[in-house]
Structure 1
Amino acid sequence: MINASGIGTVLQNLLPYLKPLFKLTLLGNPEELKKYEWAADLKVIRFNKPIYSVGEQLALPLLVPHCDFFLSPHFNVPMLPVKAKKRVVLIHDLFHLAANNISSVHKLYAKALLQSAINRSDSIVTISEFSLSEMRRLLKTGSKTIHKISLGVDKSVFYKRQDSSLEAKVIQKYNIPSNYILFVGNVKPHKNLRNLIIAFQKIDFSRFTDLKLVIVGKKEGFITGDITLLHLIKELGLQDRVLFTGFVDSEHLPLIYNLATLFVFPSLYEGFGLPPLEAMATGCPTVVSAAASIPEVCQDASLYFDGTNPEDIASTINLALQDNDLRETLILKGHQLVDQYTWKNSAMALQNIILHQ
């Protein structure tokens, strides 16, 4: 899971801070894990079973060594006993149960795993009040305590950069335009790119003649995630205004945030939602959906819209584009807000939960 979007980001940032606090043993691909400097001297037990598979469930009880704590960073917990004194699970969201586009079979299996995670874990941790409330709503949690930690932003990576040579390289490599709205995220339908595309067509292009929409992600993935999206772009005549970057190197992503006029996050379901905070850290103003955990995380540092309403998305984007003072206020509030979100604080909170369960 170390290279997965979302959970991978959490692991890559939490584990370096957990390393001095615990004697860590990792389950995973040693070749992948040893690429990270912080993992070079850690013991890694080779584990390569597909996630959510029967093979995963059969292998985990055999491979988890005798230990004080077994931390599952996702809800695919072992349903059979393991050789750990205590079990801790980190559940990011309940998307697999809440989504309308997941088959009933997949929902049943996800619910079985999630309920097993609740029942078998000594400590249950989530990442927002929204996810906590979703767990209470969709699972049988009884009187179990559910702890909450916040995620973080690495400000040594995400900051406003002044590097003209790197800027020129990034602009050329990804064909970045001079004036653009940015979306960063995965390809799943709940990210709500369809409504963003419809809203973008309603932007006042007579005033913002050179404005483009840059979508960070693989174009092929978008075909899989929402098969109608590219057809919609063509139907609306936006082929020359919507740019898919393809894969972006992690070292280049902060600068793409940095160069954007505005960051837009139309997602309808998030357990936390890191991209708006990453944008804020680089000095990019943010307009976001008023759904799920997003208002809880972004507080008063973003401008909000109804993600189900393309007209409202468009009018909010137009407002932010037209008002320079508003964008400067959002930038200032964003900088102040991201100071509250650090991975060190996340790790310390998790340590406290683990040791005092």
Structure 2
Amino acid sequence: MRSPSPSLSAVAKPRRIALNALFLAPGQSGGTETYLRALVPELAHLRPQWRFAIVTTGRGATALRADGFEAFAEIVRLPAEEFRRTRRQLAEQLLLPALVRRRGFDLLHDLAGTGPIFDPGLASVATVHDLIFKRIRTMGTLSTWGMGFVIERVAKRANAVIVPSQAAAREIATTLRLEPERITVVPHGCGRQPATRPDAQAVVRERYGLTGKRIVLCVAALRPHKNQAVLVRSLPLLPSDVQLVLVGRPEPYAQELRKLARHLEVAARVVITGTVTDETLEGLWSLASCAAFPTLAEGFGLPVLEAMARGVPVACSDIAVLREVGGDVPTYFDPHDPRAVAEALKVAMERGDNGAGPARAACFSWRRSAEATLEVYDRVLARS
């Protein structure tokens, strides 16, 4: 897989870059939304002479404008809504290529794998975060096939493909039959940690009824492949003062987790918060004795990085991508074995953090991610 190389002389020429964010469902797009929101300000900072435009849906445009993103990029709204899939797909295949050609953009960057399946008529880069949907069924058969078809076509017609990890690069190169030299690994970053209110712990304890002396925190979408069930199954094997807090957008899987907790008679020790504000999340991070991530598959594993940055001890699945992110810092476990999970949680809580977590997290930054992304742009533009 290609690694970023020094910037080329093409940077001297001001460029116009279109960023495809038609995927954006504000507050619900998970890691891809984090990627967009963290990367764009850094791109604009590093290349102030360039002009960036975020092409998105109506709700996406409203949210980005409200959050001040017009300071970094033009916000372009297409008549598409993220929850009306057919309309959004038509906009991506027909309106987006017409827009970028008409407006004279130099490069189109598809930020979430999907984009025009035919040549849009200009240089292009695609970020493919993962192919989890191919291995772990999260959609119907037709939707899974359609998503796979679009991502494969986009990756093959793009001039370059960006992926967040070496593990993802290997899977994407093999599954999509891409030449490894067309793929550049650009790890995600970790932003500055916001200050936490002095009363943050008391506030979140009262809000969610957290009476446990020790809190195991899991921040992840409530979906089967995130595997929160193994954390619930591990609770009976942990001391009674340990409480589990699951933070993530409500999904049908949440009901399965509640049912499992009742069956195991640990319902009083399991709290499912749903979506929370950034301020509330910081309060929960400050309260956590340990962060747990029992995921079965990831493209990167950003929550592991976020936990380490805050000095929260981490216990997580022993899978290649999380070892790539966490290095020697987390306590790893077999995500299929509740006993192994319980033992790892005990070790992580007892060991605490000796500064290794923040030091590891400091190796990743969105500034470095943006620099590497711009190097990909430069290479592609120099050849176009």
TM-score w.r.t. the length of structure 1 is 0.89
Q: Which of 154, 157, 168 is the matching residue for 2:202?
A: 168
Q: Which of 222, 225, 241 is the matching residue for 1:190?
A: 225
Q: Which of 77, 94, 106 is the matching residue for 1:58?
A: 94
Q: What aligned pairs does 1:80-159 form with structure 2 within 5 A after superposition?
A: 80-83=118-121, 85-142=122-179, 144-157=181-194
Contact 1:127/1:151 (8 A) holds in 2: yes
Per-residue CA distance 1:259-289 (angstroms, 9 max, x = gap): 1111110001000011111111112100000
For residue 2 of structure 1, report the CA deviation from its aligned partner. 6.3
SS of equivalent residue, structure 2 residue 364: coil
Contact 2:129/2:299 (8 A) holds in 1: yes
For residue 66 of structure 1, report the CA deviation from its aligned partner. 2.0
For residue 43 of structure 1, report the CA deviation from its aligned partner. 2.2
Q: Which of 317, 340, 358 is the matching residue for 1:335?
A: 358
- Supply the distance in 2 between the matched residues of 1:41 and 1:143 (Cα, whole angstroms): 32
For residue 328 of structure 1, report the CA deviation from its aligned partner. 3.3
Q: Which residue of 2 aligns with 1:243?
A: 271
* Structure 1 counterpart of 2:171, one-letter code: E
* Structure 2 counterpart of 1:347, one-letter code: A
- Supply the distance in 2 between the matched residues of 1:240 and 1:276 (Cα, whole angstroms): 26
For residue 232 of structure 1, report the CA deviation from its aligned partner. 0.7
For residue 102 of structure 1, report the CA deviation from its aligned partner. 4.1
For residue 41 of structure 1, report the CA deviation from its aligned partner. 6.5
Q: Which residue of 1 aligns with 2:44?
A: 19
Contact 2:331/2:347 (8 A) holds in 1: no
For residue 101 of structure 1, report the CA deviation from its aligned partner. 4.9
RMSD over aligned Cα atoms: 2.0
- Supply the distance in 2 between the matched residues of 1:333 and 1:310 (Cα, whole angstroms): 26
Unaligned runs of 5+ in 1: none
- Supply the distance in 2 between the matched residues of 1:313 and 1:302 (Cα, whole angstroms): 12
* Structure 1 counterpart of 2:96, one-letter code: L
For residue 228 of structure 1, report the CA deviation from its aligned partner. 2.4
Q: Which residue of 1 aligns with 2:234?
A: 199
- Supply the distance in 1 between the matched residues of 2:290 and 2:267 (Cα, whole angstroms): 20
Q: Which of 79, 92, 103 is the matching residue for 2:117?
A: 79
Q: Which residue of 2 aligns with 1:7?
A: 32
Contact 1:268/1:292 (8 A) holds in 2: no
Per-residue CA distance 1:119-173 (angstroms, 9 max, x = gap): 210111000001101112211214652001111111243x7x4x42344333333
Closer/same/farther in 2, CA of residues 318 and 169 from structure 1, 3 Å limit: closer
Q: What aligned pairs does 1:258-277 form with structure 2 within 5 A after superposition?
A: 258-277=286-305
Contact 1:195/1:310 (8 A) holds in 2: yes
Per-residue CA distance 1:60-87 (angstroms, 9 max, x = gap): 223333211111101111113324x310
Greater length-normalized contact order (CA 8 Å, ≥ 6 residues apart): 2
- Supply the distance in 1 between the matched residues of 2:72 and 2:374 (Cα, whole angstroms): 21
Confirm whether residue 320 of structure 1 aligns to residue 348 of structure 2: yes
SS of equivalent residue, structure 1 residue 214: strand
Q: Which residue of 2 aligns with 1:285?
A: 313
Q: Which residue of 1 aligns with 2:20?
A: none
Per-residue CA distance 1:164-211 (angstroms, 9 max, x = gap): 2344333333434442111101011110011121112221x2xxx322
Contact 2:41/2:72 (8 A) holds in 1: no
- Supply the distance in 2 between the matched residues of 1:37 and 1:236 (Cα, whole angstroms): 47
- Supply the distance in 1 between the matched residues of 2:136 and 2:357 (Cα, whole angstroms): 30
Q: What aligned pairs does 1:335-354 form with structure 2 within 5 A after superposition?
A: 335-354=358-377
* Structure 1 counterpart of 2:67, one-letter code: Y
Closer/same/farther in 2, CA of residues 41 and 143 from structure 1, 3 Å limit: closer
SS of equivalent residue, structure 1 residue 300: coil
Alignment: residue pair count: 341
- Name the % identity: 25
- Supply the distance in 1 between the matched residues of 2:254 and 2:25 (Cα, whole angstroms): 25
Q: Which residue of 2 aligns with 1:69?
A: 107
Closer/same/farther in 2, CA of residues 226 and 165 from structure 1, 3 Å limit: closer
SS of equivalent residue, structure 2 residue 356: helix
Contact 2:112/2:128 (8 A) holds in 1: yes
For residue 35 of structure 1, report the CA deviation from its aligned partner. 1.4
Per-residue CA distance 1:310-337 (angstroms, 9 max, x = gap): 221112112333x3xx2234xx210110
